[in-house]
Amino acid sequence: MATFAQISSPLDADRAWAAVERRDRAYDGRFVTGVLSTGIYCRPSCAARHPARANVRFFADGAAARAAGLRACLRCRPDAIARDEEAVLAAIAAIKAADQPLSLADLAALTGYSAAHFQRLFVRATGLSPAAYVRARREERARETLALAGSVTAAIYDAGYQAPSRFYEETKGKLGMNPADWARGGAGRMIHYASVETTLGPMLVAATDKGVCCLAFGEGAADLARRFPRAELVEAGEAFRALFEDVVAAVERPGTGDAIPLDVQGTAFQQRVWQALRAIAPGETRSYGELAAMLGAPGAARAVGGANGANHVAVLIPCHRVIAADGSLGGYAYGTAIKRELLRREAK
C-alpha cells in the first residue's frame, strides 16, 4: 500500500498527522487520511474520533486512497471538497457581478445546495456569512471610491448605500479610519505610544483615540515615525494604560484580543485581507493561496502576501497564522521564533 511519503507531496507524515490531530481545515484538499482498520479515508478536519496512529496512512487525494482499496467517509465526505469550493467561488462571482444584493436563497439556488448547508460552506470557506460578505464588498467599494472622490457623501452613494447613515452604521467599530480620515490619507492624527515588556521580548504599542494602530516586536519611537511620518507622536499617558494592558494580555494569550479596538490604514484589498486574517480561528493556519481563495481571488496569493506584510498590528491582526504552501512556517517580520511561539500558544 502506498504511504503519504511515497506520493509526491510537499508534506511529511508527521506534519500531516499533526494537522489531523488539530482537525486543521487548511489542509482539507491537500491530502486524505486513510484508516486501515475501518477501510475509509477522511478529510484532515474530519470530526470523527481519531484512529490509532499505527492504523493511518496518508494519500495525495481520494483517487489514490480508492486505488488502495479504501472508501470515502460518509461523515466528512472528502470527495465533495472540490464541489464545495466551486460552489463558493460561483457564489462570490455572482455577488460581485450583481447590481443588487443577492439573498441567501438566491445563492443557494445558484449552487444547488440548501440554504442552511450553503451558509455553512460559505462561512467555512470565507470566515463570513454570505450577507456579511455582501456588506464587506459594499464597504470595499465605498473605501475605493473614498480614496479618489472629492466628496465623502458622493462616494458613499456611489458605493450603493441608500444613505450616508447606513454606511456609518455598518462600518462603526470595524477596521479602518472614518471616511473623512480615509479620504485625506489619515494625516493630522495623534498617536500615543509606549514600549512594553512581554514574554516574547520588548514590544512597541501605539494607538489613536479610536484604537490600536501599531503593535510591533523590537521596535521603538523612530520606527513608529517611519511608519507614520505625518502623524503627531506622543508618549502614552495614564489614559492609555488599560488599553495597553489589554494588548499585552492578548499577546501573552494570542487569540483573546478580538474585542480590542483597532484603527488601521490600508487599501480596500488590504482591509479585506486583514479581516480574513481575523476570521481564521485561533490554532488554525492558512497558506497565502488558501487565504486568497477565502477572498474569492484564488490567483492573488502574491497580493495577499503583500497585504500581510503591510500589517502594522501584529497578533491582533494575526498574520502569524499564514504559513507556506508546503506547511512550513514561512517568514515573519519579527522572526520565526516569535511566530512559532504564537502558534504554539494558540494551539494549546
pLDDT in tens, 151-195: 555 555 555 555 555 555 555 544 454 545 544 444 567 899 999
Which of 46, 213, 214, 319 is flagged as catalytic?
319
CA atoms of 304 and 280, how far apart (whole Å): 14
**Do 346 and 283 reside in the same domain of the chain?**
yes
Q: What is the pLDDT of residue 204?
A: 96
Q: Are residues 153 and 94 in the same domain?
A: no
What single-letter amino acid sits at 73? C
Q: Could you list the residue range(s) of the whole structural domain that residue 53 is in?
A: 4-76
* DSSP, residue by residue, 272-283: HHHHHHHHSPTT
Task: Please classify residue 106 by burial: count the beta carbons closer than 10 Å to its beta carbon, then call 0-12 exposed, 13-18 middle and 19+ buried.
Answer: middle
pTM: 0.53
Whether 71 and 188 map to the same domain: the answer is no
Residue 293 CA: distances (Å) to CA of 12, 180, 231: 24, 31, 35
Q: Which of 265, 141, 142, 274 has its CA nearest to residue 214?
A: 265
Mark the ranges of the chain whose per-residue pLDDT is less than 70.
1-11, 26, 81-82, 124-127, 138-188, 298-299
Residues 212 and 343 in one domain: yes
> Which pLDDT value is given to residue 185?
41
- The pLDDT assigned to 184 comes to 45
- E-strand stretches of 238-287: 286-287
Grid cell in block for residue 231 = 502623524
Q: Check residue 240 and give its pLDDT.
A: 92
| Shared domain check, 204 and 102 | no
**Continuous segment of H or E residues that includes residue 212:** strand 212-217
pLDDT at 4: 36
Q: Are residues 197 and 274 in the same domain?
A: yes
What is the per-residue pLDDT for 166? 55
* Pair 268, 296 in one domain: yes
- pLDDT value for 330: 85
Query: Of 34, 60, 76, which residue is a domain's last?
Result: 76
Domain end (from 117, 147, 172): 172
179 and 298 within one domain: yes
Domain termination residue (choose one: 97, 126, 155): 126
Phi/psi class of residue 39: alpha, beta or left (left: φ > 0; alpha: ψ in -120 to 50)? left
Tell me, yes or no, if 214 is annotated catalytic. no
Q: How far apart are CA 136 and CA 58, in angstroms?
A: 38
Same domain, 94 and 205: no
- The CATH number linked to 24 is 3.40.10.10
Catalytic residue among 42, 46, 76, 214: 42
CB atoms under 10 Å from CB of 302, counted, come to: 11
Question: Do 215 and 116 share a structural domain?
Answer: no
Does residue 145 sit in the same domain as residue 264? Answer: no
Count the domains in the chain. Answer: 4
Instruction: Please tell me the total number of residues recorded for the chain in this structure.
Output: 348
Whether 42 is catalytic is: yes
CATH code for the domain of 251: 1.10.10.10
Q: Is residue 253 domain-shared with residue 278, that is, in the same domain? A: yes
